[in-house]
Amino acid sequence: NETLEKGYLDGQAYAINQLGRKYRSTSQSSKALALHQRALQISEESDNLEFRVYALNMLGVVYRRSDAIQPALDYYQRALELAETVKDPHIGLKRGMNISLNGIGNIYKTLEQYDVAIEKFSKALIIDEEMNNKLGLAVNHFDIGECQESKGRVKEALESFRTSLAYNNQI
C-alpha cells in the first residue's frame, strides 16, 4: 500500500510478486497468477528487467505446478531470453536465468525428454558454480541424477546423487 501511495513502481512489483508467491504456496493458483501478471505489467512500466524476468519465472512456476506445461514453458523461455539479452548479467539476472533453466529442465523431465532436461540442468549448474550457489548445485545434480536413472544410467545417476548429497551436507 505504501508503494502505491508513493508511486514506487519497483517496490510495487517486488511486493506484488511476493504476495503471488504466498498465494502459490497455499495452492491459490488463480490469485497467484493474477498477482504475478500485475507485477509483470508494473515491471514493464518501470522498465525493470530483473523484475520482469522474476515475474515471468514466477508465472512459469505457477503454471508448471498446475501441470499447464505449454504456458509454463513459454514463460520460462521468455524469462530466459530476456535475461540473456544482458551481456554481463549481475547476480539477480543470473538467479533468474537459473530459475528458468531449472524450470525448463523439470518440464522436459516430466515429458520424459531426459537428454534435453539434462542439458538445461547442466547449463544451470554452470551458473550455480559461478555464484557458488550450493543449494542450486544440490538441486540440479539431483535432477540430473533422476534423469540419468530414468535412462537406465544407474552408475552416473548414483554419482549425481552423491554429488547432490555432498552439497546438501555442506549446506
Residue where the block lists cell 495452492: 27
42 contacts 50 by C-beta, under 8 angstroms: no
Angle CA 77–133–156, to nearest 5: 80
pLDDT of residue 4: 87
Q: Does position 1 have pLDDT exceeding 90, yes or no?
A: no
H or E segment and range at residue 42: helix 29-45
How do residues 130-158 score in pLDDT, each as one tens digit? 999 999 999 999 999 999 999 999 999 99
Number of Cβ atoms within 10 Å of the Cβ of 166: 13
How do residues 12-63 score in pLDDT, each as one tens digit? 999 999 999 999 999 999 999 999 999 999 999 999 999 999 999 999 999 9
How do residues 53-64 score in pLDDT, each as one tens digit? 999 999 999 999
CA distances to 107, 108, 117, 127, 170 from 112, in Å:
9, 6, 8, 24, 31
**pLDDT, averaged across the chain:** 96
pLDDT of residue 34: 97
Asked whether the whole model's pTM tops 0.95, one would answer: no
